[in-house]
Structure formats: structure tokens, C-alpha cells
């Protein structure tokens, strides 16, 4: 029997074991337990699949930290998409470079930048679908998500399948410095603990 090396499969086992424990508490007092993480990841994974995102597709994300941004990361794992986080301080020239380099199937930015990102995608002749997500959870992603079916399917992955691309340098004039993380690399680096999905 082939074992699914997708990190989300391991995280899901922890979610179910500690379903009622608090996973996230926001400064505003909003609380999510581990059952909420699993449910929301499924909703966001359903959204990605409804938008045509397939295994191995890049999903670029340039948003502020929020519970929703974590749900989106988990959804990328669940759907087998490659998560490409981008620094919110990147300027248009830097963002243009990364869009052209990653060629994401879908990108999530802030409401203030959505139109700029759409223009950059057209400039690179990309078919990238662009959605917005602000730190308060509002934006076109939230609106579209409301009509997307949740997904419980966890995409089968091997240990060598790419899961994350992290850019460390932002300006095209600088030497490119990226990190490519596979499923096995993420598990060795204990991403679950970094993201706060270990039981308290």
C-alpha cells in the first residue's frame, strides 16, 4: 500500500486527535480549534479546485498574516498546489518579476493591489486568476468562497513533490535566491509547529 506523503495527511491526523483544542486566538478574541482548521482548509481547497487549480500549479499569495491566510496555505497542501508566499513589501517591479517567474495559476493579494496584480498578469500574458484577501478576512476570495463546495480529498503526493517556493530576494537586479521545499523537507522542518498547528 502506497503511503500518501502529503504533509496535510499528517496534519489532518493531528487535527482530528485534538479537534476541540484551541489552535488560533486572534487579537480580537476570535477562536479557532483544530476542527475549525480542518473544516476551513477543506473549504479553501474546494475553492482552489473550483477555480481549476491542479496538482503542481503555483498559487502566489501576497497578503497580511491572518487566520484566512493560514487556511489558504493548508488548502494548497491539501490540493497539492505549490504555495508561493510573497512579501507584502514587494514593489510593482519586484512583483512583476515574481509573477513572470512563478507563472501562478491563481494569486491572492490585498483589495488595494488586486487591480495592479491583474494588470501585471496581463502584461506577462498570464491566465492567472486574481483574488483579494485583507487581514480582516474580507475580499473577493471570501465572496467567491461562499459559493464553493468544501473538499475532503487530500491529493496524493510523493516525498519529492514540490510544496512551497520561498523567495528571499525581491529585486530583479539582485541575484535570485529562492528555496524550493518538497513535502519531505516540510515535514523534516516541522512546519506544523512553525504554523502553530501543534496542540497547546
Place of cell 461562499: 146
Confirm whether 94 is domain-assigned: yes
Rounded (10°) angle between helices 34-50 and 7-17: 140
Report the CATH number that the domain containing residue 177 is assigned in CATH.
Answer: 3.40.50.12780
Evaluate whether residue 1 is within a structural domain. Answer: no
pLDDT digits (tens, 9 = 90+) for 10-31: 899 999 999 999 999 999 899 9
Beta bridge partners, 179, equal 166
When divided into structural domains, the chain yields a total of 1
Residue 200 lies in a domain: no
Provide the residue range defining the domain that includes 109: 7-194
* Residue range 62-72, pLDDT digits in tens: 999 999 999 99
What pairs with residue 180 in β-bridges?
165
DSSP sequence for 67-133 = HHHHHHHHHHHHHTPEEEE--TT--HHHHHHHHHHH--SEEEE-TTTHHHHHHHHHHTT---EEEE-
pLDDT greater than 90 at residue 175: no
The reply to whether 2 falls in a domain is: no
Is residue 50 helix, strand or coil?
helix
pTM (two decimals): 0.86
Amino acid at each position: 500500500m502506497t503511503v500518501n506523503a502529503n504533509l496535510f495527511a499528517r496534519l489532518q491526523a493531528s487535527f482530528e486527535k485534538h479537534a476541540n483544542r484551541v489552535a488560533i486566538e486572534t487579537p480580537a478574541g476570535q477562536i479557532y480549534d483544530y476542527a475549525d482548521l480542518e473544516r476551513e482548509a477543506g473549504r479553501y481547497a474546494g475553492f482552489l479546485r473550483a477555480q481549476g487549480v491542479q496538482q503542481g500549479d503555483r498559487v502566489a499569495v501576497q497578503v497580511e498574516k491572518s487566520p484566512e491566510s493560514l487556511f489558504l496555505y493548508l488548502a494548497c497542501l491539501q490540493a497539492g498546489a505549490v504555495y508561493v508566499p510573497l512579501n507584502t513589501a514587494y514593489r510593482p517591479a519586484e512583483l512583476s518579476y515574481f509573477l513572470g517567474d512563478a507563472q501562478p495559476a491563481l494569486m491572492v493579494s490585498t483589495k488595494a493591489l488586486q487591480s495592479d496584480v491583474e494588470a501585471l498578469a496581463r502584461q506577462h500574458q498570464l491566465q492567472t486568476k486574481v483574488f483579494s484577501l485583507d487581514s480582516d478576512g474580507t475580499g473577493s476570495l471570501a465572496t467567491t468562497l461562499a459559493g464553493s463546495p468544501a473538499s475532503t480529498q487530500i491529493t496524493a503526493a510523493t516525498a519529492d513533490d514540490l510544496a512551497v517556493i520561498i523567495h528571499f530576494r525581491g529585486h530583479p537586479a539582485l541575484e535570485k535566491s529562492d528555496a524550493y521545499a518538497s513535502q519531505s523537507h516540510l515535514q523534516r522542518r516541522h512546519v506544523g509547529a512553525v504554523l502553530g498547528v501543534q496542540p497547546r
